[in-house]
Amino acid sequence: MAYKIILRLKNTSGTVKIEYECRNLQNFDHSIQMPTQTFGLPEEYLESAIITKADGNTGKLVFSWVIKDENTTPFTEMTSWKDLWPASSINPAPHQNVSSNSTYYSRKIKEVDSTTAYQDYDLKTADGQMIALGELFEKRGFTGEERHEIILRNISSNYDIYNQSGLITRFSFQKAGTDPVTWNAGFEFQLGDVVDSTS
């Protein structure tokens, strides 16, 4: 069987702004925490302990994959920074360059020896994917409308095994080699209903 992870950035109305296929899956770990309190009664055996559940459940997802040069772009949706930038932001969008599924314009990295031109990246390359993911999926604060969605799909039989919403709370990129260029990517995902000022 073949599996793939689809990572999405959505707005409050549910419109998909960014969609990326995490190819070369390494690890997928979904956990649910169900906090309980146990009170052992004095002068009684453990079977008499009182167990109470007063707090709600929380879920967490940790997954990792290898980012490498691809023959086709793993992005199927790509909204440019000028359209992602929140209207409530203190600073305006840094540039008006239009990204596409195959080319990403950084929001902060400028071309070498340039003070005004922003660097563009080929999204079929490992470096381009890493930079785009790191910039696009960083939550900007309480006034940002970002919501994240994660899907684990069985592509052999074409059905979803897992489909959850929430927020990415941590991501990491580690260099795995120089030839071919690869990055080890890891994302931590807090599951739940995202509440912010745009809700």
Q: What is the DSSP string of the chain?
A: --EEEEEEEE-TT--EEEEEEE-SEEEEEEEEE---EEEPPTTS-GGG-EEE--SPPEEEEEEEEEEE--SS-SEEEE--HHHHS-TT-SSPPS------SSEEEEEEEEPTT-SSPEEEEETTSHHHHHHHHHHHT----TT---EEEEEEEETTTTEEEEEEEEEEEEEEEEEEETTTTEEEEEEEEEES---STT-
What pLDDT score was predicted for residue 177? 66
Judge contact between 39 and 10, C-beta under 8 A. no
pLDDT in tens, 147-177: 899 999 888 899 999 899 989 999 999 986 6
Residue with tokens 């509440």: 195
Tokens of 187: 């994302």
pLDDT in tens, 41-62: 998 999 999 999 888 999 999 9
Contacts (Cβ under 8 Å, ≥6 apart) of 192? 58, 59, 165, 166, 167
Give dist(CA 47, CA 59) in Å, integer: 29
> What does the domain layout of the chain look like in residue ranges?
3-34+54-191
Where does the pLDDT of residue 180 fall: very low under 50, low under 70, confident under 90, or very high at 90 and above?
confident
Where does the pLDDT of residue 195 fall: very low under 50, low under 70, confident under 90, or very high at 90 and above?
confident
pLDDT in tens, 102-142: 999 999 999 999 989 999 999 999 999 999 999 999 877 66
Where does the pLDDT of residue 89 fall: very low under 50, low under 70, confident under 90, or very high at 90 and above?
confident
pLDDT in tens, 23-37: 888 888 989 999 999
